[in-house]
């Protein structure tokens, strides 16, 4: 991730749109809250262009062709053909085109093989982008309509709801409990609350926005602006489009990412051979010419010298390389892998270090509810029931945790509670409280049920419920609960506590203030289980000479548990805060003995990949967010997945249709096959 303050001037980009109050903003930028008309939208699209970030646009076909044509070896052959054109045609008494035709056929074969393979692979990668949601809801002619994201323009009114992809940079006009996930831009896992006026989300206990000037140093300071490429976690909002395409923060960040990767070991090898051949030619041609010019005519001596140069040039090598790599790419495509750049197959198979995340690669990326325990760690279906009522009746975006709770409850025949209970009100989740409450009622009573982080739930509970008996909470009980929670974390489970309150019959309007004097019921534990194939795959990768390094933003306990189960040495684990203080040499020393790095920022991930690459390793990196783009570029071979953001797929060399380490083993085997064939032929 680029240095925002240095590369993108946040204050200059957004100060005016964010600092004006809603009414002045509408007047200043002539925003119609009923949206644009069809004619106005068409006129603005013609003025501002389509809402497409330049870096994520596909390259033209002729760019692929030119890159293939002027590869190092082809360039040498074309130079020889030019010399032959002069000696065999222009200077000769009877022109001879035979050698020139042979060389041009070889160049054409090599070029077309590489061009068609890379062009078709990138075309396939482009089609993957069309599979993701590409529409948004806007007001046109006063009515809500769904339009393609690229047709959204400045002045459009966009309607957001839970799960919406934010299609451009937006100023919030109206919102209700709007929380946005900005991890694709910032790498931070916590959602951010978005409000109508800048500073309205400040805590009452914090310094009033009226008493101190607003500092805008990063996008985290703009709580009334939603950024292109992020997504709505919960809540709803009505927003105005203020920037599109390359003018957005997303577009600015895309332009700070280098457009080309550093040269891979394979490319450096090809260039090294090419330079060696050129040096031989520059030395041999004059020497041979000088020795022969005294005995023969100048033309004959020069022609002979050029013939010597042709003899030392491996004319078939470009064709052999292109055909071998093309066949490898075709075989990889049958194994759910798109090879965007043929050269990357060699690097793919030569990887000696693979940097990967934990979720989805080592784990199933599917959270499962494993435990529902009372305050003493004993299984209790009442805990599952209350957690189910909370998860089922909450109206925000139902995340993986809620889905896991609902699925487990249905497995235990709790579907009857859907008709038995009704939702009265809700206190939505936010990341300062780290809890969510619903108020439900049946025919007999009204209940406030809350679930959230263990520490946060303990802070609002004064009583505990054990087997139906309610008693005051004690320090011993709290310590025991914390100990059980820590033990579950060490077993790889994420823990959430559940509490409730019944004395709310006289309350008509609920708020955060009602989350007090509650009764603790117990807690639930979730597991994102390791993939069954992960342990075997890592063992095979290690046997193939590939070291696996885990780079994750997750916490230490859960990561240690998962890595231990899949066979990655977890004796030494380093946190991001530790490497932040170290020099590059210090980090390299850690990399020699540590395979697991936790709580890393995107910048720290990119730094680790860069250092490994500079230490003469062939480094593969798996990533799927815009914050992974620098690491994908720093690596020898960037590996992404079909569900990744566009810029991650653009920065990657290889796209997996299945996020599985076993695909990397296929790459190693393909590389060995290509080497064997190459050695047999040449």
Three-state DSSP state, 140? strand
Flag whether pLDDT at 384 surpasses 90.
yes
**CB proximity list for 476: less than 8 A, separation 6 or greater:** none
How far apart CA 404 and CA 392 sit, in angstroms, is 11
Which residue in 570, 563, 561, 559 sits closest to 594, CA to CA?
570
Query: How does residue 3 score in pLDDT terms, banded at 50, 70 and 90?
Result: very low
Q: What is the pLDDT of residues 297-307, one digit of tens each?
A: 777 777 777 77
Q: What are phi and psi of 21, to 5 degrees?
A: -70, 170
How far apart CA 192 and CA 634 sit, in angstroms, is 29
Q: According to the CATH classification, is domain 368-527 in 3.30.300.30?
A: no
Q: Where in the chain is the domain with CATH 2.70.150.10?
A: 4-30+155-243
Which residue in 506, 234, 511 sits closest to 394, CA to CA?
234
Q: Which fold has domain 4-30+155-243?
A: 2.70.150
How far apart CA 549 and CA 553 sit, in angstroms, is 13
The CA angle 664-666-669, to the nearest 5 degrees, is 115
Q: What is the pLDDT of residues 268-291, one digit of tens each?
A: 666 777 777 777 777 877 888 888
Rounded (10°) angle between helices 265-293 and 72-84? 20
Q: Where in the chain is the domain with CATH 3.40.1110.10?
A: 368-527
In Å, what is the CA distance from 589 to each residue of 49, 54, 294, 295, 317?
Answer: 50, 40, 62, 64, 40
Specify whether the CB–CB gap between 128 and 641 falls below 8 A: no
pLDDT of residue 166: 87
Phi-psi sector, 523: left (phi>0), alpha (psi -120 to 50), beta: beta
In Å, what is the CA distance from 454 to each residue of 57, 375, 381, 450, 639?
Answer: 45, 12, 19, 11, 37
Number of H helices, E strands in the chain: 26, 23
**Among 13-17, 36-40, 345-349, the least confident range:** 345-349
pLDDT of residue 342: 66
Flag whether pLDDT at 320 surpasses 70.
no
Q: Which fold has domain 322-364+531-681?
A: Rossmann fold (3.40.50)
Flag whether pLDDT at 672 surpasses 90.
no
pLDDT of residue 103: 81
In Å, what is the CA distance from 615 to each residue of 560, 578, 600, 607, 608?
Answer: 26, 21, 21, 12, 11
Which ranges of 193-337 does DSSP label H, i.e. alpha helix? 249-256, 265-293, 298-311, 317-333
How far apart CA 163 and CA 110 sit, in angstroms, is 47
Specify whether the CB–CB gap between 636 and 371 falls below 8 A: no
Flag whether pLDDT at 200 surpasses 50.
yes
pLDDT of residue 12: 78
Q: What is the pLDDT of residues 40-67, one digit of tens each?
A: 999 999 998 888 876 555 567 777 788 7
- State how far Cα 631 lies from the chain centre: 10
Share of the chain above pLDDT 90, in %: 18
* Mean pLDDT, residues 65-87: 78
Share of the chain above pLDDT 70, in %: 76
* Mean pLDDT, residues 427-439: 79
Residue 105's Cβ-count burial label (10 Å; 0-12, 13-18, 19+) is exposed
Query: How does residue 373 score in pLDDT terms, banded at 50, 70 and 90?
Result: very high
- Pairing between β-strand 596-598 and β-strand 573-575 as defined by DSSP bridges: parallel
- State how far Cα 237 lies from the chain centre: 26
How far apart CA 53 and CA 245 sit, in angstroms, is 5
For residue 393, count other CB atoms closer than 10 A to its CB.
Answer: 18
**CB proximity list for 256: less than 8 A, separation 6 or greater:** 2, 7, 8
Q: What does the buried/exposed string (b/e) look like for 251-284 if buried means 16 or more CB atoms within 10 Å of the residue's CB?
A: bbbbebbeeebeebbbbeebeeebeebbeebeee
Three-state DSSP state, 159? strand
Rg (CA), the chain: 31
How far apart CA 629 and CA 54 sit, in angstroms, is 15
Which ranges of 491-545 does DSSP label H, i.e. alpha helix? 534-543
Q: Is the dihedral of CA 8, 10, 16, 17 positive or negative?
A: positive
Length of the chain: 682
Query: How does residue 682 score in pLDDT terms, banded at 50, 70 and 90?
Result: very low
**Highest-pLDDT range among 145-154, 161-170, 245-254, 601-610:** 145-154
**Highest-pLDDT range among 66-75, 94-103, 110-119, 588-597:** 588-597
How far apart CA 49 and CA 233 sit, in angstroms, is 29
Three-state DSSP state, 124? helix
**What is the longest distance spanned by two Cα atoms in the chain?**
116
* Mean pLDDT, residues 417-443: 84
How far apart CA 396 and CA 176 sit, in angstroms, is 11
Specify whether the CB–CB gap between 165 and 133 falls below 8 A: yes
For residue 213, count other CB atoms closer than 10 A to its CB.
Answer: 6
Half-sphere exposure of 233 (CA within 13 A, CB side): 19
Local structure of residue 534 (DSSP, 8 states): H
DSSP string covering 414-439: -THHHHH-EEEEEEEEETTTTEEEEE
Strand ranges in 352-418 using DSSP code E only, listed in sequence order: 353-356, 368-374
Specify whether the CB–CB gap between 169 and 239 falls below 8 A: no
How far apart CA 84 and CA 307 sit, in angstroms, is 9
How far apart CA 112 and CA 322 sit, in angstroms, is 9
Active centre residues (catalytic): 357
**CB proximity list for 626: less than 8 A, separation 6 or greater:** 184, 185, 229, 250, 253, 254, 645, 647, 648
């Amino acid at each position: 991730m680029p240095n925002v303050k240095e590369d993108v001037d946040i204050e200059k980009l957004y100060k005016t749109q964010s600092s004006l109050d809603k009414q002045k903003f509408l007047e200043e930028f002539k925003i119609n809250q009923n949206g644009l008309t069809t004619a106005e939208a068409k006129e603005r699209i013609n003025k501002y262009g389509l809402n497409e970030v330049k870096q994520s646009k596909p390259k033209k076909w002729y760019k692929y062709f030119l890159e293939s044509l002027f590869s190092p070896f082809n360039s040498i052959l074309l130079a020889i053909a030019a010399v032959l054109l002069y000696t065999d045609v222009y200077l000769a008494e009877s022109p001879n085109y035979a050698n020139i035709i042979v060389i041009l056929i070889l160049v054409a074969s090599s070029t077309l093989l590489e061009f068609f393979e890379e062009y078709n692979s990138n075309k396939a990668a482009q089609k993957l982008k069309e599979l993701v949601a590409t529409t948004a809801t806007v007001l046109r002619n006063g009515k809500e309509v769904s339009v393609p994201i690229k047709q959204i323009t400045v002045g459009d009114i966009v309607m957001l709801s839970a799960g919406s992809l934010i299609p451009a940079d937006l100023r919030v006009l109206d919102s209700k409990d709007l929380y946005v996930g900005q991890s694709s831009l910032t790498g931070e896992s916590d959602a951010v609350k978005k409000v109508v006026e800048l500073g309205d989300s400040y805590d009452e206990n914090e310094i009033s926005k009226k008493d101190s000037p607003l500092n805008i140093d990063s996008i985290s300071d703009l709580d009334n602006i939603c950024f292109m490429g992020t997504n709505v976690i919960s809540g709803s909002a009505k927003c105005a489009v203020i920037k599109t395409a390359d003018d957005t923060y997303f577009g600015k960040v895309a332009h700070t990412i280098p457009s080309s990767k550093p040269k891979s070991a394979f490319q450096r090898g090809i260039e090294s051979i090419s330079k060696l051949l050129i040096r031989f030619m520059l030395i041999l041609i004059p020497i041979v010419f000088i020795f022969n010019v005294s005995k023969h005519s100048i033309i004959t001596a020069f022609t002979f010298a050029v013939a010597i140069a042709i003899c030392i040039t491996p004319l078939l090598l470009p064709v052999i390389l292109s055909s071998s790599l093309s066949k490898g790419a075709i075989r990889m495509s049958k194994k759910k892998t798109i090879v965007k750049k043929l050269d990357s197959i060699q690097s793919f198979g030569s990887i000696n270090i693979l940097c990967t995340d934990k979720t989805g690669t080592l784990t199933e990326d599917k959270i499962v509810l494993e435990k529902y325990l009372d305050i003493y760690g004993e299984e209790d279906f009442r805990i599952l029931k209350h957690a189910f009522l909370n998860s089922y009746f909450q109206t925000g975006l139902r995340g993986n945790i809620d889905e896991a709770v609902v699925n487990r409850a249905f497995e235990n025949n709790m579907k009857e509670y859907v008709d038995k209970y009704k939702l009265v009100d809700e206190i939505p989740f936010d990341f300062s409280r780290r809890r969510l409450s619903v108020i439900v009622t049946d025919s007999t009573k009204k209940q406030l049920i809350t679930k959230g982080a263990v520490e946060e739930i303990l802070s609002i509970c004064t009583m505990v419920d054990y087997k139906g008996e309610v008693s005051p909470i004690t320090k011993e009980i709290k310590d025991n609960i914390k100990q059980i929670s820590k033990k579950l974390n060490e077993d790889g489970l994420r823990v959430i506590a559940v509490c409730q309150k019944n004395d709310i019959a006289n309350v008509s309007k609920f708020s955060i203030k009602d989350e007090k004097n509650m009764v603790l019921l117990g807690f639930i534990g979730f597991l994102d289980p390791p993939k069954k194939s992960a342990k075997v795959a890592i063992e095979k990768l290690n046997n193939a000479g590939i070291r696996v390094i885990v780079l994750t933003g997750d916490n230490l306990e859960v990561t240690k548990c998962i890595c231990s189960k899949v066979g990655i040495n977890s004796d030494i684990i380093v946190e991001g805060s530790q490497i932040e203080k170290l020099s590059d040499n210090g980090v390299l020393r850690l990399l020699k003995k540590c395979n697991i790095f936790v709580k890393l920022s995107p910048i720290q991930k990119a730094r680790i990949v860069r250092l490994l690459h500079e230490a003469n390793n062939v480094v593969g990196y798996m990533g799927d967010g815009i914050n992974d783009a620098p690491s994908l570029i720093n690596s020898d071979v960037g590996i992404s997945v079909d569900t990744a953001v566009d810029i991650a797929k653009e920065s990657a060399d290889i796209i997996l249709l299945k996020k599985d380490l076993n695909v990397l083993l296929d790459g190693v085997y393909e590389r060995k096959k290509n080497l064997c064939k190459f050695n047999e032929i040449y």
